[in-house]
Chains A and B, each alone.
Chain A
Amino acid sequence: MTSGEAEVSRRRLTSGPGTLLVWLYGVMVVGAVSRSAYQIATEFDRAALAYSLSAVAGVVYGFITYSLVRGGETARKAALACCVAELVGVLTVGTWTLIEPSAFPDATVWSDFGMGYVFIPILLPVSAIYWLRRSRARNGDAA
């Protein structure tokens, strides 16, 4: 909130609520990447589409986590774009799994809007987009 905060050359995105976001994104990275790596390695043929989508989700989560930790305006914009892509992904896959369950013999991270992960996958991008937009507004005030 102080003006000193804005003088840091690469502005932090991990202060305040950002800490919680980084933590939750970190958890999702570990969850999605380890899950898809294991499933792709052991039983890829059973549900190739579902496991590939989980892997994609893991990569997106990884990139957002990295951007949040790195900080700065470019990273903020990149993270914002990825959060929008993530939200679109969750909505698409969530709707898809409800309409066409036969396409998914096994669940993905984003199945049923992330129900298997306490709906964190759908809540996370919404709160992250809010936080990242607010970070820009605060920066504008200070400058």
Chain B
Amino acid sequence: MVDALTLVTGVAALLLAAWCGWAAYRDQPTKDWHFMGMAVVTLLTLVQLAVGIVLLAQGEKPEQGTTIFVAYLIGAFACVPAAGFMSLAERTRWGSVTVAAGGVVLAVLEVRLYDIWGG
């Protein structure tokens, strides 16, 4: 359950990164559709956070420690919205680049989450 969710979120993050990277390549700021994409990815990280907390409440233990696991879940949840807000303030291609970087950072966090859970 955790592994599948981690994989889906990681792939979605990379797709978002590619999409916004494409917008930056075409010299465009992030648009409504991009924000929809960010919302979808953020929703996935929210589900991940909820599932993670439920599993911990049921007594499961991540391989590398509960504190680190929760910290990474919160970081993953905050990652894309933070980049999204910055792209709202920067209405140029650089806003798109920032969201693309946010997607890559989230993908890295998902790989780490996979290790921390002990997949």
Chain A interface (Cβ < 8 Å from any Cβ of B)? 14-20, 22-24, 26-27, 30, 34, 38, 118
Contacts and interface: CB of A to CB of B under 8 A. Distances in A.
A23 B81 CA distance: 12
11 contacts: A15-B90, A16-B92, A16-B94, A17-B97, A19-B87, A19-B95, A20-B98, A20-B101, A23-B98, A23-B101, A30-B75
Contacts of A118: 108
Looking at chain B's contact residues, the main secondary structure is helix
Given A20-B98, A23-B101, A38 B83 contact: no
B90 A26 contact: no
Interface of A: prevailing SS = helix
Interface string B89-118: 110101101100110010010000000000
Contacts of A38: 67-68, 71
Interface string B15-34: 00000000000000000000
B82 interface: yes
Nearest to A24: B101
Interface residues on B, range: 20 to 34
Given A19-B90, A26-B82, 8 more contacts: A16-B92, A17-B94, A18-B94, A19-B97, A20-B97, A23-B82, A23-B101, A23-B102
Contact of B86 (A17, A19, A30, A34): A19
Nearest to B71: A34
Contacts of B68: 38
Given A38-B67, A38-B68, A118-B108, A22 B94 contact: no
Interface in B18-66: none
Contacts of B87: 19
A127 to B, nearest CB: 12
Contacts of A30: 75
